[in-house]
Structure 1
């Protein structure tokens, strides 16, 4: 989610859109009526491949939230699959066309110990052997957050809002490129609960934002869950105008890219770059921020933000891997120029267990330390999405 309207909505998408992404592609398999096995016959280890490949209908997935910006909490998502991944693969094989992910509808919600909560509905749909990809979502949320701004100290505020998004991407020929429009609408109400951030000169509490933009995706990853090689990149230009249903006029330009380089059979180097830029009358809560493990979301926030991160992974066994990572970022442009802006840094380590071998789906934990926070994250696959 690149709208960056509200920090907690990214947590809600971990429940809703994260499920959509988790099942947006898979290697070919075959539907069958055999009993579901939870241990891989190849190595005898715990494995959910058989269950996930052949599951059809409703699937309940719980989520544990550990984000420092909103505290600890729980979420739950219920995904409804039109067909199993094995059925989708068999259909693709019979038709002679490429593999297309199943259509999915997801209902989800989340709540944390600082009073933040959200609930929403999303739908992912493809046509013509995955040539066209549609994603739509609607959500309601309430968040208790801190704004740092010019003073670099936290000022608590409440954010209530209704979010609506529509996106349609089209594959460019037979390439790895997708392109299409994205529309985002956010109707919000904000209130500072203690000290007011006077530097904002807020005109009022109620804001409506309507943004229309263009999204370009590129993807050559060998596995979308936990890649060992390949590149993923997304470029986005969005324009908020009154003509699109909002009251604020501003522009946002976002670009992010991840690449994985195999140094040897067991060592994988990952590189990440992320830039978020804005201009015009952008609401304070929608300003770009530094997004790093170990750094509270919104702690470093300004007109622009850039981040770079490095991750080194060692595949100890076919099932287990360990990794170390470090990164740095800056938010600058309105309160500070680039040279005087504080540099956010983080360092950490983690592990993964290959829980679904046929899908390449892994599960694990990352522990990270930043300048101001320590945090741990329960990860499904790569931390970069």
Structure 2
């Protein structure tokens, strides 16, 4: 799970001082804390059966304010664990800002039967104070309350191929600040919804490590069917395809490539549109501000392991959106962004990185991303 933070044209000196102080705390935390431990707090080697990583989060966003939080992962084994197979993990993330925006999420990933069976289950709750740029002029201010539960289970059918199902239940509520903000929500088709969906998952995974791959490919095809009988506005379906490929250029340099596409049927509502900036496609854009029914994106990232714990990355990407209903929101023919980042390896056993990425995109978009594990 990744925490996304945006910085653009922030003239609030108090927020800037808060952000600087929080970043100092992050550096002190990374340099002084023992970050690999078992349940008793002792540092162990690669044969440890349980361990965890924790990291602070700095949030600085003119839309949702300035604040802080934390994220952590706990690793454990279900049954007998074989060397070279992924370990199960539980991850918790949460943050709060001075504008009363907050989010909290819990994700549990299971690898069972020597990685024959994989399962993911997550619960997410957020209350976000949004401030979007309106292409017709001015800004749209509204609050979004989200509660969602997700589950996925896949079984290894042959070699590196997995087949399974996924399901989701979500509740999304919009609260505009003014009648003008309500007009914006009506124009883009944003409506309160409580709905659910189910669909297939097909994946191919030949990565040498699920957290920090140096070689191999992860390809996934996933979809949801969301019938009106489950609370949706109409019967519709959405689907996405993602291919991540990793090439070890040298012992310390990795080229990571990602291609991503997502689309929905004609009746796909605004709450389920493809969103630029979501799932790191592309970094540098505020998720939800630019939406469309169909999205295509591609990224390339060079990863450099400078020392055993410290690393750096450079990345860039392109994206294209289509949607006749939301054409006013799509202000560019092609969206692009690029940036750099630093890495600090919190856990050398599982190869879990704490990451900070800074990205710049066209249309005066900027972003800072803070979290654990890689963008893709």
TM-score above 0.5, yes or no: yes
| Deviation, structure 1 residue 214 | 0.9
Aligned position for 1:186? 170
- Counterpart CA distance in 2 for 1:203 and 1:323 is 38
Aligned position for 1:92? 81
Aligned position for 1:271? 257
- Counterpart CA distance in 1 for 2:184 and 2:302 is 43
Q: Does 1:116 align with 2:101?
A: yes
- Counterpart CA distance in 1 for 2:286 and 2:190 is 27
- Superposed CA deviations along residues 176-226 of structure 1, whole A, max 9, x for unmatched, are 122211111112222222323458458895322211111122222222222
| Deviation, structure 1 residue 236 | 0.9
Pairing 1:229-308 to 2, within 5 Å after superposition: 229-291=215-277, 292-308=282-298
Aligned position for 1:382? 374
Query: How big is the alpha-carbon RMSD for the aligned residues of Structure 1 and Structure 2?
Result: 3.8
Q: TM-score, normalised by structure 2?
A: 0.74
The count of residues paired between Structure 1 and Structure 2 equals: 336
Q: Is the 8 A contact 1:68 1:375 kept in 2?
A: no
Greater share of strand residues, 1 or 2? 2
Specify every segment of 5 or more residues in structure 2 that has no aligned partner in the other structure, as ranges: 5-36
- Counterpart CA distance in 2 for 1:302 and 1:266 is 38
Pairing 1:200-219 to 2, within 5 Å after superposition: 200=186, 205-219=191-205
- Counterpart CA distance in 2 for 1:78 and 1:152 is 41
> Structure 1 residues 352, 345: closer, same or farther in 2, change over 3 A?
same
Q: Does 1:331 align with 2:321?
A: yes
- Counterpart CA distance in 2 for 1:318 and 1:248 is 52
Q: Is the 8 A contact 1:305 1:329 kept in 2?
A: yes
- Superposed CA deviations along residues 221-280 of structure 1, whole A, max 9, x for unmatched, are 222222222111221111110234534422111111211222333432221111111123
Pairing 1:171-182 to 2, within 5 Å after superposition: 171-173=156-158, 175-182=159-166
Aligned position for 1:320? 310
> Structure 1 residues 238, 64: closer, same or farther in 2, change over 3 A?
same
| Deviation, structure 1 residue 61 | 5.3
Q: Is the 8 A contact 1:290 1:330 kept in 2?
A: no
- Superposed CA deviations along residues 329-377 of structure 1, whole A, max 9, x for unmatched, are 122222339x984322212112223343332233342221122232222
- Superposed CA deviations along residues 289-321 of structure 1, whole A, max 9, x for unmatched, are 122222221232111111111112333344433
Q: Does 1:159 align with 2:144?
A: yes
- Counterpart CA distance in 2 for 1:363 and 1:77 is 10
Q: Is the 8 A contact 1:185 1:209 kept in 2?
A: yes
Q: Does 1:36 align with 2:42?
A: yes
